[in-house]
Amino acid sequence: MRLYLVPSPIGNLGDITYRAVETLRNADVILCEDTRTSGVLLRHYGIQKPLTPYHAHNEHKVLGHLIDQIQAGKVFALITDAGTPGISDPGFLLVRECLRNDIKVECLPGATAFVPAMVQSGLTSNRFVFEGFLPLKKGRHTMLTTLAAEPRTIILYESPHRLVKTLNELAAHLGAERQAAVCRELTKMFEETNRNTLAALAAHYEKHPPKGEIVIVVEGAPARKGKQEREEEDDEEEN
């Protein structure tokens, strides 16, 4: 009884490990978000296995049936359209239910969009916070207010049609001059990383509407000075 979580390429089909390919070849059933998207990957590597849809719209409905099948001895592999399952993609519910039923879960290392985006942004990468997609309505203002004081580098996912709105809101809450990077279409033919202030990035994409998958990386808030540091600076100014 086992469930494998298998990262899939975020764009370039070559970005998959040998172990991931072998795991997919040896699985009895492959769960995927979209059979058409995953079919392209599997055909590329000559993998012929049954594909079963598993996505945000049916995961609650099919969960019990999948657990029954795994307990019956079938080996399942879960992939998503791009990246590592469970990171802003379906996977958490199935993992939790497997663990509740003493089913072994094994996650393979592999592609995910936010790591290369953060590293090539040029912003501090030793400490960061990944927030995925911001809330669309409820809780959005609260989240933006919280992020304004976040000292670590901030990483967000965003869709192309909401990018300008989000950049403008980030500029309003975090400061127009806060440094950031917009990474688009990572590993694909038209990959782009645009580095500038939040205000400048918002203005750029207002004039040049983007396409494709997007990661936003934002500089953390400046560290607040302690009372002793402020007093020392005041003493220096007086002298």
Each residue's pLDDT tens digit, 159-179: 999 999 999 999 999 999 999
pLDDT of 157 above 60: yes
Please state, in angstroms and as integers, the Cα–Cα distance from residue 63 to each residue in 17, 58, 95, following that order.
28, 8, 10
Average pLDDT, the chain: 93
What does the pLDDT read at residue 36? Answer: 96
Cα atoms in the Cβ-side hemisphere of radius 13 Å centred on 135? 11
Burial label for 108, CB within 10 Å (0-12, 13-18, 19+), is middle
Of residues 66 and 231, the one with the higher pLDDT is: 66
Domains of the chain in sequence order: 2-107 (3.40.1010.10), 114-218 (3.30.950.10)
Q: If pLDDT is split at 50, 70 and 90, which confidence band does 234 have?
A: low
Q: If pLDDT is split at 50, 70 and 90, which confidence band does 1 have?
A: confident
What does the pLDDT read at residue 231? Answer: 53
Please state the rounded mean pLDDT for residues 78-82.
Answer: 96
Q: If pLDDT is split at 50, 70 and 90, which confidence band does 233 have?
A: low
Prediction pTM value: 0.87
